[in-house]
Structure 1
Amino acid sequence: MVNINIVTTEEIKNKGKGIYFYYGFGNSHVGRCFMVYSERGISCLQFTDMLTETCLSKLQKKLSSAIFIENNNNIQLIVSKVFSLKNKHCFELWIEGTSFQIKVWQTLLQVPYGQLISYESLAQQAGYPQAVRAVASAVARNPVAYLVPCHRIVRKNGDIGNYRWGKETKKAIIKWENKNLNIDI
């Protein structure tokens, strides 16, 4: 289960004062991950690429009064839980986005494990049937890979489409989910 909590304007205005963020790298079955989290939830989960430092630097800039601590050991423990087949954990996310983006990301959470849907279908389910391109843009800006399952969205013709962390990563996640879909844990 995943719950989205939204960064408030008050928290941004206070520049994250009193908030401790932990960040670092962990390994998953599809590769190395970068994560940033606080007691409020996970703010960033990305597959390792050049965007990882951007994620951290954006948070550090926006929440400049917060404290950022590198902790690869804790990150590895959380990454292991995220990608566990016995994933019965509840994950809290603490992310910032427009109300439109948050609605799209919340709708993504409803896409069942191992299933794929089109951008058009996602737009309809989110209540924006005429805004397919805007929905696709919101999907592309998802800051929390895998937990907000943007990898389950494909083109209308069934083509896998693009993925922020590369098509091969997207294919690997989809293959892994399909392989483990019927495992009784």
Structure 2
Amino acid sequence: MPHWLVIDLEATTDEGGWPVTEMEIIEIGATLVDRKGRELDAFQCFVQPLRRPLLTPFCRQLTRITQANIDSAQPLSEVWASFEQWLGQHHSHLEGWASWGDYDRKQLIQEWERLQLDSALSRVPHMNLKQRFAKARRLERPLGLNAALQLAGMQFSGQQHRALEDARNTARLLPLVLPS
């Protein structure tokens, strides 16, 4: 049975946002789901940023991630090795991976290159679920995750701007865009 991996990242930022090149991942959330969106397994881990180790007040307020969460975390190179080990047991069933928008894919590619990591995920097709949902619903422009859930008759479940909960909510929309 084919599976999909839905990934969401939280990253360092400040009010007004930073360019992707300035952002660092501070949390990885991933849910492995079947084509009906049912969760089969999940991964969540905080990541210690190295270039800007102190979270801005805006970032802490937005994500509800504390400085203590980050201070006790491992750097991305170690967290990614754990992620790859977790993913390894599921890789043979993976049809693709998805994220809400293209930020997560771009951020991961940037980090893989910066850290010179060979990721199995880089050889798996990526779906921009935000674009695919907009196309399936014939929308003029893509919606944010919360608005898309509401359009689909769903409510956001859990804490917004937390990686695993965002990934799980994104995964709820996956069956609406996959061909039967």
Q: Is the pair's TM-score, using the shorter chain for normalization, greater than 0.5?
A: no
TM-score by length of structure 2 reads 0.27
State TM-score, norm by structure 1.
Answer: 0.26
